[in-house]
Every structure is written in C-alpha cells, then in structure tokens.
Amino acid sequence: MPRAGLSRDAVTDLAVELVDSSPDGFAGLTLAAVAARAGVAVPSLYKHIGSLADLRRSVALVAVTELLRRSSATTVGRAGEDALRALGREIRAFAAEHPGLYEATQVAPAFDESGQDDPASLALAQAAVDTVDVVGAVLRGFGLPDARTVDAVRVTRAAIHGFVELEAHGGFGMPDDVGRSFEALLDVLVSGLVTLARA
C-alpha cells in the first residue's frame, strides 16, 4: 500500500477546498468527504488531526487569516469613509468568493477550562482579534471619542456581517439589486458613524 503523503496542512487544505465547493458549505465538512478527496480511509485522518472539531478550527484559522489579509490589504493607504467602504466591499467579496470559508470565520476557538488551550485555538483567537483591530483602525479616521470606539466597531461589524449572512442564506427575497442595497448599508453606516462622532 503506497502512502498518500498527507500532513496536517495537506488535510486542512483539502478541507478548505471542500468547504468552498460543497453545496452545504461549512456544514458539508465531514471526515468522510475529506478522506474521499485524500484517497484515504477515514480513520487515517486521525494521524494528522485530533478530531473533526479540531479540523474545523484549522479551517477557521485559514479563513480568518485570509480575511485578515484581505481586510488589511484593502485598507492600507485609505482612511475614514474611503477605508470603511473598501473594507465593507472586501468582506462582502470574500464571502461571495468563499462562502464556506466565510462561515468558518465565525467558528469559536476551543476554550479549555483547565487552561490548557491548544496552540491552534490561541492562534485562531489572535487572528480574530487582529481582524477586529482592522475595523478599529479603519474607524480611527472618524474622530470618535475613545469611549465610543468599541460601540462603533461592534456596530460596523454587526452591520456588515448581518448583511453578508442574510445575503448568503438567501434572506433577501425581493428581486431588487443586492449590491445597491449594500451600498446603502455603507451610506447608512458612514453617516451614522459621523453623527455618532459628533454626539
């Protein structure tokens, strides 16, 4: 029996491909499906990953890392309203191109109450924090009072995430152009944040 030459990264890569090509998205991530792609029996995967939950977190780390990369890339050299609009569009584009990965972006790290958190979960938590920090940096240009910054970051994340989620799950039944509605969301966000900064 020849070896398949797998590794943790190789398995994760297969899982990432699967998640974005499966009609079930992130929920379609099963060990059976990954093993089939790898040309290997299901239990063989356990030589490289600890469990399905572990693999899910690996995929989540890839997802958050990529979202962070794109978020950073699109906002460097921009400020204020310009940066916020670019960030919003980039997140929406990421979700459109990688629906499974976008879902994975919401996976929580494993909290081990014994304090023995695994490194992958720590990395995932850190990447998530970094991604939120990008939003904070983008909002610096709005001149919000320090006491309101956390609120503004939450509002921004909520608005963009909510839109992308509803869009991805077919939550918009009307035939009207969704891209236009997203621009309206950005308009509302920009003018609302400007008002919030004045309060």
Site of interaction with a copy of itself (CB under 8 A): 106, 108, 128-129, 132, 148, 150-152, 154-155, 157-163, 165-166, 169-174, 176, 178, 180-181, 184-185, 187-193, 195-196, 199
60 or 152: CB nearest DNA: 60
Q: Please answer whether residues 87 and 185 qualify as being in contact, where contact means their C-beta atoms are separated by less than 8 angstroms.
A: no
Residue of 128, 129, 186, 182 lying closest to 155 (CA atoms): 186
Q: How many residues bind DNA (CB under 7 A)?
A: 22
Copy the structure tokens of residue 129.
Answer: 């924090």
44 or 126: CB nearest DNA: 44
60 or 134: CB nearest DNA: 60
| In the complex, least distance from residue 124 CB atom to DNA, rounded to whole angstroms | 17
Rg for the chain (alpha carbons), in Å? 19
Distance, in Å, from the CA atom of 142 to the CA atom of 157, rounded to the nearest integer, reads 15
77 or 119: CB nearest DNA: 119
Tell me which of DNA, a copy of itself, none is bound by residue 21, counting a contact when its beta carbon lies within the kind-specific cut-off of 5 to 8 angstroms.
none
* 2 touches DNA (CB under 7 A): yes
Q: Please answer whether residues 15 and 29 qualify as being in contact, where contact means their C-beta atoms are separated by less than 8 angstroms.
A: yes
List the interface residues with DNA, window 25-84 (CB under 7 A).
Answer: 30-33, 40-44, 46-48, 51-53
Tell me which of DNA, a copy of itself, none is bound by residue 44, counting a contact when its beta carbon lies within the kind-specific cut-off of 5 to 8 angstroms.
DNA
**Within 10 Å of residue 178's Cβ, how many Cβ atoms?**
14
- Express the helix, strand and coil content of the chain in percent, nearest 5 each: 75, 0, 25
